[in-house]
Structure 1
């Protein structure tokens, strides 16, 4: 129970994540935020479109994906400053996915505040997502590394596939764990996986063995992140987000339909989170010291 409370504190308090970061990484994260805050400077935008485009930049969350970019670069002993542009690109891809998700789910509230969809309407939210994608591509190109560009383009394709698959699964009674894992990999884990890979690319680390390890680590962290969110959403533990809807794909609901009672389903989902994180930490232990801040950061996701 204590672990669940600590995990929940981290969910609703971004400071719990930031407290772990070394000064060099914090400085780089501030650089990412500054870059995002002026992302559309120099472009004329109608007022509502500009406000919609900047909405999730100004009402930012925990910045987990860009932080993973920076922490990976730091843990591989590279110049973290070189990871700022890729980290900003990753966050803009994530923001574009949030804007699109709001439209598709008709989401009125996220993180305890109204969504751009609810304030400016679906058309402005859609155009704002276009702007975020365009600027993400620009930042990736400006990083000067085509491997980063192609990695993030590929992650974006997976995101779209995941969104489409979620629409196919929504409301179905016969969703399997394999369906769920395919959905979560594409919709959530793929971008987290790519965050760690581009963190390595940004500091010149490209040997296939290291990249493959980071892919495995990122995939496990991304899957754990979504299962964890599903548990929190199912139990309505985060007052900033609405509870699960009837047609929503959620691991706890799937486990219940497979025959477990509610308490056992929640316990199994929590166990899945920690098993996935164990896999991630084991993978990293071959690359970096076990006391490294990246491992500590990942362990914050435990429930």
Structure 2
């Protein structure tokens, strides 16, 4: 249902999104049957294609040409996809979007090579873009993305981390790629500097709100809605905003201690979820997400008059209020 709603929001660029989908299929084609199967398995799991959408909508503020824009929109989605494959290995995750992960379907080695292959394909696509600034932005994004993944490993089960640590981590994990999607859409299409700057900031704020909502939903949504067990973040050692906001709650302490040592039984998982769902931490985390959302909307107001302003606003509001 949520996926259908988001697709309705960008229905007017549906044909261009179909171009992106077709290009993704071609990009993942390999002479190796194993890489082919693993990559297609990931592609068939679907996704909202948020990053290409932001790239294309941002490009509308410049000289829009889908044949040119696909060469930056496709690699951005490929980078996202490759990072998901690696994420699942790091988190030892067996399910994503209701399907087995590449790691679960095959093994860790195949998953790592699949992720590397997808990253390499992303780099191939970008070679057709002549703008050196676009290459600089994308290269910096990939470096920071990897830094974020390593920091997430270092922070596993670390309860003494600060909110600043958390915000820095989710910036690298999620917000930076969305920020770059918006900025690159503007830069590659030749939009003016001021517009590119506002779109970049919009992407950052939307990305921060998006990840916080993700972290909230990991506790408040059902297993079916998530396509994986609710509470997976905590069980994988990823200490997210709701937990940081209530980590000193004495009722939560036994679960935090056990999850890091032996894991939780199904009954304990359900009890932990009920505790977090009924806590003030969910309301506080939602408030923080909304603050980022308001900042994103403010950046839209600063953009030049354009039909895409409403579209960017609608998508931001959807992403900040979604339920799965």
- TM-score, normalised to structure 1's length? 0.89
Residue 187 of structure 2 is matched in structure 1 by 201
| Contact 2:134–2:188, Cα closer than 8 Å, also in 1 | yes
Give the Cα separation in 2 of the matches to 1:142 and 1:258: 52
Residue 198 of structure 2 is matched in structure 1 by 213
- 1:289, distance to aligned residue in structure 2 (A): 4.3
1:126 aligns with 2:142: no
Give the Cα separation in 1 of the matches to 2:212 and 2:248: 16
2:63 maps to which of 65, 78, 103: 78
1:99 maps to which of 85, 93, 97: 85
Give the Cα separation in 2 of the matches to 1:113 and 1:33: 19
1:236 aligns with 2:197: no
| Contact 2:59–2:188, Cα closer than 8 Å, also in 1 | yes
- 1:283, distance to aligned residue in structure 2 (A): 0.8
The structure that has the greater radius of gyration is 2
- 1:163, distance to aligned residue in structure 2 (A): 0.6
1:48 maps to which of 5, 13, 34: 34
Give the Cα separation in 1 of the matches to 2:293 and 2:42: 28
1:278 maps to which of 277, 288, 294: 294
1:269 maps to which of 285, 303, 307: 285
2:143 maps to which of 150, 157, 165: 157
From the superposition, tell whether residues 54 and 147 of structure 1 become closer, same or farther in structure 2 (CA, over 3 Å): farther
Moved over 6 A (4+): none
Residue deviations 1:23-53 (CA, integer Å, cap 9, x gap): 3x21111111000111144x411x2222112
Unaligned ranges ≥5, structure 2: 251-274
- 1:288, distance to aligned residue in structure 2 (A): 4.1
Give the Cα separation in 1 of the matches to 2:280 and 2:57: 35
Residue deviations 1:209-262 (CA, integer Å, cap 9, x gap): 333222221111111111000110012333412222332221100001256984
Residue 44 of structure 2 is matched in structure 1 by 58
RMSD (Å), alpha carbons: 1.9
Residue deviations 1:122-155 (CA, integer Å, cap 9, x gap): 1111111111111101111223322222211111
Give the Cα separation in 1 of the matches to 2:206 and 2:27: 28
1:248 maps to which of 235, 238, 251: 238
| Contact 1:89–1:137, Cα closer than 8 Å, also in 2 | yes
Unaligned ranges ≥5, structure 1: 1-8
Give the Cα separation in 2 of the matches to 1:257 and 1:272: 17
Residue 310 of structure 2 is matched in structure 1 by 292
Give the Cα separation in 2 of the matches to 1:170 and 1:156: 21
Residue deviations 1:272-292 (CA, integer Å, cap 9, x gap): 111111100101111044862
**Structure 1 residues 185-196: aligned runs within 5 Å:** 185-196=171-182
From the superposition, tell whether residues 157 and 258 of structure 1 become closer, same or farther in structure 2 (CA, over 3 Å): farther
Aligned partner of residue 19 in structure 1, secondary structure = helix
Give the Cα separation in 1 of the matches to 2:164 and 2:28: 40
Give the Cα separation in 2 of the matches to 1:72 and 1:220: 15
Give the Cα separation in 2 of the matches to 1:122 and 1:128: 10
Residue 258 of structure 2 is matched in structure 1 by none
From the superposition, tell whether residues 78 and 294 of structure 1 become closer, same or farther in structure 2 (CA, over 3 Å): farther
Give the Cα separation in 2 of the matches to 1:86 and 1:193: 14
